[in-house]
Amino acid sequence: MSFCSFVGGEVFKDHFQPGIYVCARCGHELFSSRAKYEHSSPWPAFTETLRGDSVAKREERPGALKVTCGKCGNGLGHEFLNDGPKRGQSRF
């Protein structure tokens, strides 16, 4: 499942079939469907990345990190700290 490049709407927001979400640009594995959950944002929401090198992060503002593909640098959105479904979890 190709993830990101949000042009024309996000088709995977309500998609909950088992699988791996990959970068739309290079195919690098980013998130597992096991980490996906329903959220009110217009994009899919995940609690964690598939691996430690799945994404790169840099602080954009307090509580929000800019997230890019760990392989090609494609923009993926943000990690919102302490905004996941459980206390202390992040939301990607």
- Residue 30 is given by DSSP the state E
**How far, in Å, CA of 57 to CA of 66, rounded?**
6
Reported pTM: 0.80
Identify whether the C-beta of residue 54 lies closer than 8 Å to the C-beta of residue 20.
no
Using one digit for the tens of pLDDT, what is the confidence trace for 50-90?
Answer: 999 999 999 998 889 999 999 999 999 999 999 889 999 99
Distance CA 24, CA 86 (A): 28
The bridge status of strand 45-46 relative to strand 55-61 is unpaired
Query: What structural domains and CATH numbers belong to the chain?
Result: 18-89 (2.170.150.20)
**Per-residue model confidence (pLDDT) at position 8:** 52
**pLDDT tens-digit readout, 16-61:** 788 899 998 999 999 999 999 888 877 888 999 999 999 999 999 8
